[in-house]
Structures are given as C-alpha cells and as structure tokens.
Structure 1
Amino acid sequence: MNKSTLYYLFFATLFIGGCSNLKYLPEGEALYVGGSVKVEDTAISKKERKNLEEQLEPLLRPKPNSSFLGLRPKLYFYNLAGEPTKDKGFRYWLRNKVGQPPVLFSQVDLAYNESILQNYAENKGYYKVRTESDSTGKSNNKKVTAEYTVRPGYRYKIKSVTFPSDTTNTLERDIAKLGRRSRLRVGQPYDLDRIKTERERIDTRLKEQGYYYFSPDYLLVQVDSTVGTKEVDLIVKVKEETPAKAKQIYTIDQITIYPNYTLSTNDTTNVFSKAVPEKYKDFTIIDTARTFDPRIYDRTLYFYKGDVYNRTDHNLSLNRLINLGTFKFVKNEFRPSDSIKNALNTTYYLTPLPKKSIRVEVLAKTNSANYTGTELNVNWSNRNTFKGAELLTLTGFGGMEVQVSGQNKGYNVFRFGGEASLVWPRFIGPFKMESGEGFVPKTRALLGFEHQERQRLYTLNTFRGSFGYLWKENARKEHQLNVTEITYVTSGNVTQEYQDQIDGVPAQPDGTPAIPGNQALQRVIDKQLIFGPTYSYTYTNTMQKRKRNTIYYKGSLDLSATIAGLAMGGDKNDPKEILGVPFSQFARMEHEFRHYLKLGKDSQLASRIIAGVGVPYGNSDQMPFIKQFFIGGTNSIRAFRARSIGPGTFYEETPQNSFLPDQSGDLKLELNTEYRAKLFSIVHGAIFVDAGNIWLMNKDDQRPGAEFTGNFYEQLAVGTGAGLRLDLSLLVLRLDLAFPIRKPYLPEGNRWVLDQIQFGDRGWRKENLVFNLAIGYPF
C-alpha cells in the first residue's frame, strides 16, 4: 500500500466519522463546534489584546464536544450505542460513561455569553466595554461556530490606596498596619480579583492576631473613578454593620478533648456525663477507657490556656492530630467562654481508627525478562501499641516469578520473608528535635529477613535492621536519617552450574565450546556485612496543581563502616572482619530530579534525571552487589530487559539455555522524558524516550569497556515507545511497549539502529519489542 492510498484512507476516515455524527442530529438542529473571542481595540497593545482573548475564551458556555484530529470520538460512541433499553449493561455504559451527547447550537445563549465577557472585562478594569456576537456555519454540514467581538477601551489603573486612619480603634489600627504589604499597588491595573485576594489576605492576617469572628465580608473596598483620567482611588474600610464580636481579639480558655468520640455519640452531654474528667496540664480529657497517654496531646496541640487565638496554631493542631495516623476523624469547635470575657473554649472530637487491623494483598506482575509471578503480603498493625499512638506493623510476604517464555527458562525465583516495624510519633534520643508546621516527627525501628531462591543457581538470606528518624520541615521538604542501618547477606546452595559460570569451563571433547569465567558473579554470593548511617532529603511541590512547572528532587547519602574502618584500619589487601565476615566500606550518593510541565488540562511533559556514584575504599576494593546500581526494566529504560544494560559497552554473550546475569555498576546516569495525555474516560496515553547506562569505577579485565571514561555520553543506551495507562482511581494500570534505538554494546559508529526498525518482521519484533505491565507511573 503506497503513501497516497494511506492519505486517502486517513481523510476518508475523518470525513466518514464527521458525517456519521451529523446524521443523528435532530431535524433543524446544528452541531455547535466551538466559539472564539476577538478583542478589537487600538487603545491597548497587541500583547494585551492576545492575553485578554486567552482569558475570555474559556468563559464561553457551553463547551463543544471534545475532538481529536477533527474527530469527536465521545460523540461517535454516544451515537454508536443508540438508546439503551435499560439503565445498565454495555450499551448504557458505552453511551453514558464513554460517550457524550451532542452539544447543539440551540443550547448556546449568545446574549448570555456577551454579558459574561463584558462583566469579566469590566472586572479587569476595562470600563465601557462593548461586546457583539455572531454565528457562522454552512447549512450543508450542520456545523456552527459562535464568534464574539469585544471592544474594551482603555484600562483603568490605581491612583491611590487608602487604609483606615482611626488609630483609636484597635481593629482599624491593626488593618492599617497591614497596608505595608498590600497587594494593591499604585500604578497597577484595576482588578476585582486582586481586590478580593487583598480582602482575604487581610482576613488571614487578622486571624493570626486573634480576630476569630472576623470575615472578609466585613471589609469594603470603595472604588472612586472620578479622580482622574482612567484612574481610580481605592479606599479600604470596615463595614458599619460589622458585629462587635468580629472586632475583638480572643484568647484560649478551656481545652477539652474527647478521644473516643463517634458520630453516633454526638450528644456528648449524655454519653460522657458519667465520665470522670482527667486533668493534664491545660487539658481536660474525657476518656472513660483511658485509651491514650495524655502526653500525646501535649506533643500535638499548639494551644494552651491564655494563648491568643491564631489560625496557624488552629490548623497545625488539627494537622498533627491527623498525622499521628491513629484517628479516623478529627474536628474541633470554638465557643465563647462563660467565665472569661473575649475568650474561647475549644473542644477536640477525636474518632480513633480500629486499634488492630490486618490487610492482605495479592499482586500479579510481569517484567521484560519474561518473568511472570505473584506475591502475597499480609500486614498486621497495632496503631496504639503503648498508648502513645505508636504504630507496630508485622509483615509477612512470599512470592514467585516464573520464566514463561524465552530461551532461558527454568531460572525461577522464589522469595519469602518478614518484617517488624515500630514507629513512635516523636523523637527518641539524647537531644531534642522539632518537626516543622503540622507534621509529627517520627522515630522508626525495623527488623527484617528475606530468603530468596534462584532455582538452578543459589539462595540468598538477607537480614536487615535500622533505627532512625523521619521529619518534615513543611509540606515540601522531608528528611530521613537512619542513625544506623545494618544489612547482612549470606548465600547457600550454590549450584555447579553457577560455579562453572564463575570459574569457567574448558572446551569439551564433544565440541562444546569453552565458557570463560566471570568473577563478577562471585560478588553476588559473597557474604556481605554493611552497616552505617544513611540520609535522604526530598523536596517536591507537585501537590500544587495550579502551577505549570512542578519539580521533585530526592538526594541520598549512604556511608558504610566509616568509623569502624578508621578504628580497625581497614585495608582492601588485608580486610578486617567482624564476626568472621569482612565488612564493606564505601560512600554512595544518588540524586533524582523530576520536572513536570503542564501543557494543557489533560496533558503534561514529565522528565527525570538520575545520577548516582558509589566509591569503595578502605576495607573494600569494590561496592557490595546489593548497593551497586542497575538499569533497564519496567521503571527504568523500558526498551531493555531489567538489569541487562552495561556496564559501559560491555555485553555478555550467554549460551543458549543459560541464565542471564544481572549487570551492576558503580556509577549510573539515566534520563527519561514522557508525554502524557488523556485520551478518553479512564484511558490515558503516553509517548516516551529513555536513555542511560551504568559504569564501573575501575577497569575490569573480564568486562572490557565497563569502566567510566570521558566519552561516557557515547555509551548511552536509548529506547523509545508508547503506552496506555488505565486510571482506575485506586490504582493506575500501565502497559508500555518499547524498542531500542541505540545499543551501546554495538561497535562504535553502528550503535544507532533506527534504520533497522522493521515492525513487519517477526524476527525483529521478537528480538527488540519489549512489553511492560506495571502498577503506577514510572516516575
């Protein structure tokens, strides 16, 4: 099929799709396909006209049916389903969930849209705005658009801003002090939204000073447009009808806590009438079961008796109670005190989560190494272990991964293990530390064990333990410091097949070729003892949905046996041992940076850079295997099998029916970028490009080309592909199909393989196409 035929088919599809939608329109109706706004006025600049058009066009109602490349797939599915006979079934789902009814031109109110555009322009300072509208369309295709013309004239600017000047009135005096940081500035264009924002700013600041009953509605900003040519004076006033209590500063009187409150017991007077109140510092606790140690309230609540009310402490107290992870619902009330004038009694109603719970998870997974498997996780939790909101979690897990296809079958993986974790909602240590804002600092202790069996190869037993702290400065910045983290790995059941891969096998008389040895495989089964502090810092503002650019950064530092190595004089030529095991000594650092660029309502460009380096020293001449870097796979470079790239240009030819060893390195560089867009309903699409590689710090004669050099950028693997994401609310199911376009192990000058792409060739597809099924986004 030649290109011309493809073009004809493409445009015929567009035409037929459009016509098939139009034939279902009611008699005499036309399909509304959108509106446009044109700003015409020589009094304002071209840039200003364009900005105003971009602001006005989204205000038009109704919105036309969504389209893609001229097609309206939702409308097509709506018409395809027809009128369902009942309110369920496939046809009902296709019509009402996937489809979208036609937006008819008869639903468009031109005069209403004119008034909306005029009001918006006037609220932005363009007085004496004139608007016009017209419709255009052809009777033969039943499509109509609406065109609006706006002539705004000059924009008024602020000449002066006046705040209250009555210094004898406490409220007005406090408002006047806030004028120094006003968002209303002389010379700025008049903007009603900015005025509303200023009222809210003033209210927020007054709440910090104790004006609990104040509201933005009690503020009036008068506008005087007679003071000059296209200028206005703004006068900030307190409305005369403002109630007296809104003008008063309030303090905190009694603080009452109900730790076992439920919605069914909202009448606290009767339910808790027989309870004996417990006094602890400034708190009155009504807890018949004495569920919690009262000290948790002292660590959590910011208010104390006699404090001036402020909104920050109000919100931080609620946030910290929620972040304890013990309460299902948290609310509080403020009421005027009966005994103290201008004081508030505050009551906290806390509904606990079930103290003990069990959760069972069953997972299914597949990866690019042709492994398919399942995993079972059982988690038991106690959310109030020692009555101080401590969280004890016991986890048991088991799973298997089986190679269902490919030439390297039979090397299945089985694993099981357990973990015990205890989290205290406070710092435990010889010194005092504070966590910022509404976040509770945490201390965490962990013990874990995992047994892994790789059939026909070896088994590994891993023991882990750690003790450390987790705290947040604010919603964007998080720190995690493990004062000590200990990992001990030992192997067993090493098969002769695996040992032969390490030692090498000479050529056999029957003509079987020799297998060269690979000492790098020995490190996988060597005993490993790693201990030392780890630290990570995370910054993110991705929760700010309105920002066009958001970022995520995580940096980590891992130090092993630094003090022990200095004390014992560790030397790689004469390694020191603890309990008969040489301990690892290294420094490892990794940085991950992500950037998200919002391109539209339902589309964005997501990018990521990962850079890491590990340096062995002292007692070690190489990084332990479990602390090295790996690359490739479902969440990495998706066009290559997991852990199959590198290091460097090294490529290990494996005999048929032999296992594929995991490749590891001391340095890592990875770059990813992905365009994401919503297609329809729960279906999202993505197009991506991944690149990267790993390298060794030192030369390895058995892995030529693996060491890091100045031309590392010429050794990057590159892959590309496309995928679908099914957003099921509770989880995102991701399906990616990728293929390599640059293979670093090929001879220099032949590494780009774009000219070899042949989707129609079965052999090429089998060798290059990689399917990834995963849960969640890769980054």
Structure 2
Amino acid sequence: MKTRLAKISLFILTGIIITACDAVKRVPKDRRLLTQNEIIVNGKKEKNEEVGEQLYQKPNSSILGYRLRLNLYNMANPNPDSSYKARYIKNPAKYKRKAKWLSKKQVDRLGKSFYYYGWHNFLKKSGEAPVMVDEKSTKKSAARLKSYYFNKGFFDVKSDYKIDSVGHKRAQITYNITTGQPYVIDTISREILTPALDSLYETTASKSLIKSGNVFKSVDFDLERSRITNNFRNRGVFHFQPTYIRYKVDSLGATKKANVKMLIGDHSYRENDTTKTQPFKIYRISRVNVYSSGPHEKPDSKKTDSVFYNNVWLYSTGKLRYKPKAITDALIVLQDSLFADYKTRLTSRYLSNLRVFNYPTIQYTEDSTGTGLITNIYLSSRPKYSFGAGIDFTHSNIQDFGISGNTSVSIRNVFNGAETLEMSLRGNIGSSKDFANPDNSFFNVLEYGGDIKLSFPRIFPIRIDKIIPKTMIPSTSISAGFAKQENIGLDKENFTAAMTYNWTPKRFRSARLDLFNVQYVNNVNTGNYFNVYQSSYDVLNNIAQNYPVSPDYLDDDGNLTIAQGGANDFITDVESGALVVSPDDFKTVTNIEERRERLTENNLIFASSFSYSKTTKADLSDDTFHIFRAKVESAGNALSILARISKELDNQGKNNTILGVAYSQYIKTEFEFIKHFDMGVKKVLALRAFGGIAVPYGNSNSVPFSRSYFAGGSNDNRAWQSYGLGPGSSRTIYDFNEANMKLAFSAEYRFNVFGSFNSAFFVDAGNIWNVLDNITDERATFDGIQSLNDIAVGSGIGLRYDFNFFVVRFDIGFKTYNPADEKKRWFHDYNFANSVLNIGINYPF
C-alpha cells in the first residue's frame, strides 16, 4: 500500500513539474521569452559580468540551468480571485448548497483563503515573471554598452544588436560592439582661479590619478574629484564641493590622444536674487559651542546654564549634568584649528562612543570676520537608567527542557564623566532525565550568575595621550562576574575579572589590550566525572570486564560504579600494579586518568593579551573585502613572580600554587584571514584561514580546557559535530576532543536562490593537534609537515534565509576526507547517514 501511494505521489509531482516547466506558459502569442544575452566585443564573446550588468533586460534567473523562479511563477493562477468567482457564477446551485452550511459571507471570503488565493499569491511573489524581449529596452541596452566603453576611453565605439528566434516563443539577443583604439591622455593642465586653492593643490599634485600616458577613463576623473575635494575640505576650504571641478577634454582623433584641462572656478553664492562669486577662503574655527539637552527636552529648548572650559562654551537647561572635561575631551574640532571634515566625523564618533548621548548634530556658521566658523554641537542625552529583560525556552544535549532568563540595568554618567555602569543577572532552570533526581522534581538542573562592568570613555586610570591620542577613540572597561552550575557536569563555579583597553589606531582598524583577564574555575562535583564523560567510562568499563576486578567496584549488573567510586578504585589498582593488565590496556587506563585529573583540577588563569584587527569592508553592501585578525596571549607570568616571593613555595609538589590552586602558565597566539570576492549578481566567494597554537611552560604541562581548541561545528568543519574531530588521526575515546594547536580553512560559494532565500556550496578543511605538551600519542600529536596528512576535509551545501537584520542558516556537511578512518579515508562516509546538520545564526565567516 505504501509503495503504491509513493508511486502515485511521484506521478502527481512529476506531472506538476512537467506542467510548470513550460517556460513560455505565460508568454503571449505575439511575444518572445528572452533566453540568452550574448555580447560580442571586437569579434570575441565578452564574459565580464560588469559588462553584462549594463543590460536593461536579462533572462530569468536559473540554478544549474533550471529556471526555478520562472516555473514557480508559471504554477500560479494569474487571477485566482476571478477564477473562484467564475466557478460559482457558472454553477449557482453549488454556491447555494455551500451557503446553506457556511453562509454567503463565508463562501465569498473563501476566495481570499490560502487554498484559493494565498498559495497562488505566494508562488507569484516567490517566482519570477517571464522576461520577454522588448525592442525599446534592447535599444537602451545597446546605447548603455556604447556609453560604458566610451567612458573607458573608446571614443569611436560603435554598437548594434540582433534578435534571433531560437524556438517557439523564444529569442536571444546578440549585441555587437566595435571599440576601436582607446584614447590616451596627452597633456594635462589646470586653471584654478583662487590662488590659495592652487597652492593647496600643488602640495598633493603628485598623487593625482590623472596622468599623462594613461588610458582615458571616466572613473579616474570621478576619483580625482573626490580626492581633490577631500584634500580641500580637510584643509579649511569649507564651501568647496565636487561640482566646482570641471574638465575640458580636447580629443585628437588622428593620434588617439586627448588633452585634459582641469578648471576650478571661484566660490559662487546667492545674495538676495543675485548670484555672486568670490575667491574661496580658508576657514579656522573661531568658537565652539556645545548645547546639551535632557532625554525629554527638545534640542532647541532654552539654555539657562553655561560653562566656559578649555576654550569651549557649554550650555544646558539647568545645571550641566556632565563634568566639562568629559565633553571637551571628546571634541576633535577645537578653537583656532583649521576646519576639516575628518575632525567632524571623529568628533561625532567619539561623542557617540560615550554612550550617554544620541547621535550628535554638528553645524557650522560663518562669524562676523568672514574667515572664521562657529561650531555648534547639539547633544541629546540618553536616559540615565535603562533596563532590559529576556526569557528563553531551550533544549540541548544537557537538558531536555529549560527556561533561561536574564535582567540587566545600565546606569549612564555614573560619576558625571560619561562613565557607564552595567549590571546583569542570569539564570536557568532545566529538566534532564540523565542527571540525579532524588526528590523526583521536574526541574533538576540549575545555573545562575551575574556580571558587573564599568566603562570609561578614555584610558583609565592613567593618561597616555601621546601613545593613544583621543583621535583613536580609546575606552576602558573593568568587569567581574560569577557563574555557578548545579547538577550540570562537574558543577563548576566560575569567577572572572578583567580590565580591558580598546582603541582604533586608524579607520577600519581596532586594537584591544586585556591588561589582565582572570578566571578561577572551581569544580565542585568531581565525583560526577564519569557520568559526564560517558565515552571514557564505557572504555574503562569494557576493560574492567576482562579482569578479576574486586566485587566492591561493581554494581548489581557487573559494571563499574561511579557514585561509589568503583571506576576510580579500578584505575588506582591498575596504576599501582595491584591489578595487572595488558600493556595496551594499561596505557589506555593511564591516559583516561591523566585526562580526568586535568579536567577535574581547579584552574587559576591570570592572562594578558593583545588583539588587532583590520578590515577593508566599507559598508554592508561591500562584498569585496578582507579581514585580518591577530592575537597573542600570555598567562601565569605575574603569578609566577608572586609565587616566588611568597611562602607558598614551601613544601609544594610538582606545581607552584597561589591560595592552594596551581596556576596555569602558557603563551598563545592566533591568526585569522578572511577574504570575500564579489562574483556579481548576488554571488560571493568567501575564503577563510585560521591558525592557532597555545604552548604550556613553567608551571604547566598542558593548556586549560577553556583555553584549548576544538574542531567541528556550525562555524568550523561542518562535516563533524562540535568537539567531534581530532586530535590528528586518532579515533579518540573522549566525548569532548580538544588540543592546543589548530589549523582551519574554508571556502564557500554563496548565491541567491530567489527572494530572501540564499544557498551555498562549501568545503571545510582542518584539524587540531597536541604539540609541546604532555600528550605522547603519535596519532594525536603534530610532528612536522607529514602531520598535515591529518587535515580533515568536509563539504556540503547550505540553505539560508535573510531577515535583513540576521540570517538563519542550515548547512549539511559530508565527511569527504576522514583522517581517522584507517580503511578508506576519501568518501568512505560520504552519505546522508553520516552527514551532520548544522543550524546557525548569520554566516560562519
């Protein structure tokens, strides 16, 4: 029965697809569907997408040659509402019968239901109407192609087109372009009427983008206008605009050369009904006024208080709420300085970065001298207090059901110096059938914590303006936090504290210095280790079945007990020699015990780090850019000095301690490079490379779990689950695999399917290894260039939906090369049964 139903469903689906695949279904008899555009330039087919973008008409979009959106559109009823009405006009008896049990109003409203109307409307919106050949648009496209090459310096370019029929109601268009030889720039001259501007131009004339011998390109002239305008407006020329720059071009047809003359006239302005001109002036800032208003006051409200501080007039309604220095320190626009656009931008950024004002308004007016500018800065205060709260319902591999909540409060301008104090509390209660539940309560999992953070809009507590000037918009944050788990894993208590400096050395660059970042992890319930790391327990228990283990170590089913300590006692007997096992089993047991000791010991990490990042991404629409990130972190050095001068060194074991806890000592460095290429028509090629290593030394022979690396997951190698890959080629027995070295590489080709739906093909490669630590397993360690054979490769496809403010992502990864597979590494598990589905928010890189 099921087989017959499947065949019937397949038959119906095939019929629907065949019907929809009639591409010209909605094309009128006297029209033709545009199937292809072909651009021939000087006898050769042009494949440059930038040239193709000049055309007004393009064929319907396709995926691997299949016009999905066109076929979706063809499946829709063009007029579902009219069809519904006609159905009952032709059969009034049917309408009458239906109205008896639904009412006439409900029958009429059925025409707007999803079944009759909504489904077809969805298909039309998701689909794409057939693109039909239009002679008028074709002529415009040919003219646009001609203009495109003309702007590239081909002044003698010619263009025409030909429309060919390629089947029933189908046609293609061929555009023929003959460019001729490009014109090159011969002589360059200039005429700048204002002498002061001519002098300013001369200082940067060598940076001109228009040079003798270059091919004439309109884009170079546009960029040169922008360069000159920025130069002038950043050096005091307040009234200058790009429209003042004109070019006179004389082409010499026989020689294919063009003489260029740049013309910059005087400043023109209107006085009453008359347009006048005068030489441009170079302006200085003669006065700076700052007007501040409260969160519920209008910016133009009457100001009743004023303060003069550091050559700045500050006005407010009532007493000024801020220390004058807090505001004046944020101003890059200063009295007696030259007017400059970049100073305006930096001032706006700095004031916004204070987080106590809404985005400021900065205006300039001429003073009575005619050569000075009065700067008026309008600040609107944000509310002093702001509150936030949230609640989530969760499901994870730890808990079957959970409710998490958080609440926060922000207090702005705490000490009247634009400081911000943030406090937050968070909690989670959950239910898990895997954890102990002696009281038989539904909620048997608990996690809670709190954080406090104080931010300063400057370097605190010392001033280092000569090293990090205020133009770099520096800030300082001091934070502390606490979190505790109950009946989760080892029931950790986590204490954190940090002091961080942030600044922007240049535009699109950022730097961060963690002067200190302290973390203390206290494992409260270490006896629960083998309940958490079940894979390690299973291996240990299987080994125990092969030897005469003490009955006291076993439960009624003959398995090692956990709560009663049977598993730990078995390990003690093996390591002490009280129970003799095979060499392989002995090595496995000792490895399990070494890992247990490392993951159950309390950690004290006192680290300092420096991070630097650079991006060329100009805005959200920029799809061709790169990002570089680097970080170096050092931990334990300060505590090492403290331990040496303290009495705690006396009578210690193999590790030095602070307050009874062995501190971690390591150095860690990371590098990441991301490159995006705009492939045109909503297509992007994204590449990523990452490398990181953490080397323990001194007081440590391994890196803390929280500072180690893992592989796999939705933002890494998507063919493996998080913590499921590596280390190296080892087929590890552990639940959470980690190591202290990592390499990761990814390539992703992203493209639009239709509307807000996007897709991607991706390849991920990488792995983790142990290096320079206490791990000796050859399969898990990095021993040189030959270890690169252990790089795992995953590939797959993804589907994404863009909500504009975030993207929901579904990626399915297949194991393409598995270094842990001893039989066949390539494509052995390349199937859906062994694939991994990843769900994520936003793009992986």
TM-score category, normalised to shorter length? 0.7 to 0.9
CA apart distance, 1:224: 1.6
Q: Deviations over 1:668-701 (max 9, x none)?
A: 2223332222211121212223333323336768
Q: Say if 2:451 is the partner of 1:419.
A: yes
Q: What one-letter code is carried by the residue in structure 2 that aligns with 1:253?
A: S
Q: Deviations over 1:507-536 (max 9, x none)?
A: 466784676642212222212111132222
CA distance in 2, matches of 1:497, 1:233: 81
Q: Deviations over 1:116-152 (max 9, x none)?
A: 23333333322233322221124x5212222222223
CA distance in 2, matches of 1:313, 1:143: 59
User: Matches of residues 519-558 of structure 1 in structure 2 within 5 Å?
Assistant: 519=593, 520-543=595-618, 550-558=625-633
Q: What one-letter code is carried by the residue in structure 2 that aligns with 1:237?
A: L
CA distance in 1, matches of 2:616, 2:312: 36
Question: Are the equivalent residues in 2 in contact too, given 1:77–1:95 (CA < 8 A)?
Answer: yes
Q: What one-letter code is carried by the residue in structure 2 that aligns with 1:307?
A: S
Query: CA 1:563–1:222 in 2, change beyond 3 Å: closer, same or farther?
Result: same
CA distance in 1, matches of 2:137, 2:323: 63
Query: CA 1:626–1:220 in 2, change beyond 3 Å: closer, same or farther?
Result: closer
Question: Are the equivalent residues in 1 in contact too, given 2:815–2:830 (CA < 8 A)?
Answer: no
Question: Are the equivalent residues in 1 in contact too, given 2:39–2:46 (CA < 8 A)?
Answer: no
Residue 53 of structure 2: aligned partner: 58
CA apart distance, 1:546: 7.8
Residue 4 of structure 1: aligned partner: none
CA distance in 1, matches of 2:317, 2:532: 69
Residue 656 of structure 1: aligned partner: none
Residue 286 of structure 1: aligned partner: 315
Q: Say if 2:680 is the partner of 1:600.
A: yes
CA distance in 2, matches of 1:59, 1:233: 28
Q: Deviations over 1:583-634 (max 9, x none)?
A: 2222222222323233333222323233222222222232222222222223
Q: Unaligned regions of 5+ residues in structure 2, if any?
A: 1-10, 82-110, 270-276, 435-441, 561-566, 572-588
Residue 38 of structure 2: aligned partner: 36
Counterpart pick for 2:28 among 26, 47, 53: 26
Residue 619 of structure 1: aligned partner: 699
Residue 164 of structure 1: aligned partner: 191
CA distance in 2, matches of 1:109, 1:529: 71
Counterpart pick for 2:722 among 614, 639, 642: 642
Q: What one-letter code is carried by the residue in structure 2 that aligns with 1:560?
A: A
Residue 123 of structure 1: aligned partner: 151
CA distance in 2, matches of 1:334, 1:157: 42
Question: Are the equivalent residues in 2 in contact too, given 1:365–1:773 (CA < 8 A)?
Answer: no
CA apart distance, 1:348: 1.4
CA apart distance, 1:185: 0.7
CA apart distance, 1:544: 6.0
Question: Are the equivalent residues in 2 in contact too, given 1:29–1:142 (CA < 8 A)?
Answer: yes
Q: Deviations over 1:397-425 (max 9, x none)?
A: 234677799xxxx9997532111111111
CA distance in 2, matches of 1:110, 1:263: 57
Query: CA 1:224–1:646 in 2, change beyond 3 Å: closer, same or farther?
Result: closer
CA apart distance, 1:752: 0.8
CA apart distance, 1:246: 6.1
CA apart distance, 1:190: 1.8
CA apart distance, 1:351: 2.6
CA distance in 2, matches of 1:416, 1:574: 35
CA distance in 2, matches of 1:123, 1:497: 71
Q: What one-letter code is carried by the residue in structure 2 that aligns with 1:531?
A: F
Question: Are the equivalent residues in 2 in contact too, given 1:84–1:91 (CA < 8 A)?
Answer: no
Question: Are the equivalent residues in 1 in contact too, given 2:617–2:626 (CA < 8 A)?
Answer: yes
Query: CA 1:70–1:580 in 2, change beyond 3 Å: closer, same or farther?
Result: closer
CA apart distance, 1:24: 1.7
Question: Are the equivalent residues in 2 in contact too, given 1:218–1:242 (CA < 8 A)?
Answer: no
CA distance in 1, matches of 2:65, 2:780: 51
Residue 330 of structure 1: aligned partner: 360
Q: What one-letter code is carried by the residue in structure 2 that aligns with 1:77?
A: L
CA distance in 2, matches of 1:136, 1:28: 15
CA distance in 2, matches of 1:81, 1:453: 56
Residue 145 of structure 1: aligned partner: 172
Q: Say if 2:407 is the partner of 1:378.
A: yes
Counterpart pick for 2:306 among 270, 274, 277: 277
CA apart distance, 1:178: 4.0
Q: What one-letter code is carried by the residue in structure 2 that aligns with 1:326?
A: V
Question: Are the equivalent residues in 2 in contact too, given 1:724–1:734 (CA < 8 A)?
Answer: yes
Q: Say if 2:551 is the partner of 1:491.
A: no
Query: CA 1:740–1:34 in 2, change beyond 3 Å: closer, same or farther?
Result: closer
Same amino acid, percent of matched pairs: 25
SS in 2 for 1:565: helix
CA distance in 1, matches of 2:228, 2:830: 63
Question: Are the equivalent residues in 1 in contact too, given 2:815–2:829 (CA < 8 A)?
Answer: no
SS in 2 for 1:197: helix
Q: Say if 2:474 is the partner of 1:441.
A: yes
CA distance in 2, matches of 1:263, 1:701: 63
CA distance in 2, matches of 1:466, 1:309: 40
CA distance in 1, matches of 2:179, 2:328: 59
CA distance in 2, matches of 1:156, 1:744: 58
CA distance in 2, matches of 1:404, 1:105: 65
SS in 1 for 2:346: helix
Question: Are the equivalent residues in 1 in contact too, given 2:20–2:72 (CA < 8 A)?
Answer: no
Which stretch has the larger CA shift, 643-652 or 606-615? 643-652
User: Matches of residues 200-219 of structure 1 in structure 2 within 5 Å?
Assistant: 200-219=226-245
Q: What one-letter code is carried by the residue in structure 2 that aligns with 1:22?
A: V
Q: What one-letter code is carried by the residue in structure 2 that aligns with 1:291?
A: R
Backbone CA RMSD of aligned residues:
3.7
Question: Are the equivalent residues in 2 in contact too, given 1:537–1:554 (CA < 8 A)?
Answer: yes
CA distance in 1, matches of 2:773, 2:248: 76
Which stretch has the larger CA shift, 461-470 or 608-617? 608-617
CA distance in 2, matches of 1:221, 1:577: 75
Residue 81 of structure 1: aligned partner: 76
Question: Are the equivalent residues in 1 in contact too, given 2:639–2:658 (CA < 8 A)?
Answer: no
Q: Say if 2:636 is the partner of 1:561.
A: yes
Question: Are the equivalent residues in 2 in contact too, given 1:378–1:395 (CA < 8 A)?
Answer: yes
CA apart distance, 1:212: 0.7
Query: CA 1:481–1:730 in 2, change beyond 3 Å: closer, same or farther?
Result: same
Query: CA 1:370–1:715 in 2, change beyond 3 Å: closer, same or farther?
Result: farther
Q: What one-letter code is carried by the residue in structure 2 that aligns with 1:387?
A: N
CA distance in 1, matches of 2:174, 2:14: 27
Q: Say if 2:667 is the partner of 1:587.
A: yes
Question: Are the equivalent residues in 2 in contact too, given 1:688–1:721 (CA < 8 A)?
Answer: yes
Which stretch has the larger CA shift, 713-722 or 553-562? 713-722
Larger Rg: 2
Question: Are the equivalent residues in 1 in contact too, given 2:701–2:774 (CA < 8 A)?
Answer: no
CA distance in 1, matches of 2:831, 2:232: 68
CA distance in 1, matches of 2:514, 2:357: 27
Q: Say if 2:212 is the partner of 1:183.
A: no
Query: CA 1:668–1:452 in 2, change beyond 3 Å: closer, same or farther?
Result: farther
Residue 632 of structure 1: aligned partner: 712
Question: Are the equivalent residues in 2 in contact too, given 1:163–1:235 (CA < 8 A)?
Answer: yes
Which stretch has the larger CA shift, 239-248 or 526-535? 239-248
CA apart distance, 1:427: 0.4
CA apart distance, 1:11: 12
Counterpart pick for 2:485 among 444, 452, 463: 452
CA apart distance, 1:337: 1.1
Question: Are the equivalent residues in 2 in contact too, given 1:368–1:640 (CA < 8 A)?
Answer: no
CA distance in 1, matches of 2:405, 2:290: 40
Counterpart pick for 1:666 among 719, 727, 740: 740
CA distance in 1, matches of 2:430, 2:631: 30
CA distance in 1, matches of 2:403, 2:761: 28
Counterpart pick for 2:753 among 679, 682, 700: 679
Q: What one-letter code is carried by the residue in structure 2 that aligns with 1:156?
A: Y
CA apart distance, 1:705: 3.6
CA apart distance, 1:704: 7.0
CA apart distance, 1:470: 0.9
Q: What one-letter code is carried by the residue in structure 1 that aligns with 2:739?
A: G
SS in 2 for 1:74: helix
Q: What one-letter code is carried by the residue in structure 2 that aligns with 1:632?
A: G
Which stretch has the larger CA shift, 580-589 or 431-440? 431-440
CA distance in 2, matches of 1:565, 1:154: 73
Residue 739 of structure 1: aligned partner: 814
Query: CA 1:744–1:103 in 2, change beyond 3 Å: closer, same or farther?
Result: closer
Which stretch has the larger CA shift, 201-210 or 117-126? 117-126
Question: Are the equivalent residues in 2 in contact too, given 1:541–1:551 (CA < 8 A)?
Answer: yes
CA distance in 1, matches of 2:736, 2:448: 21
Q: What one-letter code is carried by the residue in structure 2 that aligns with 1:277?
A: S
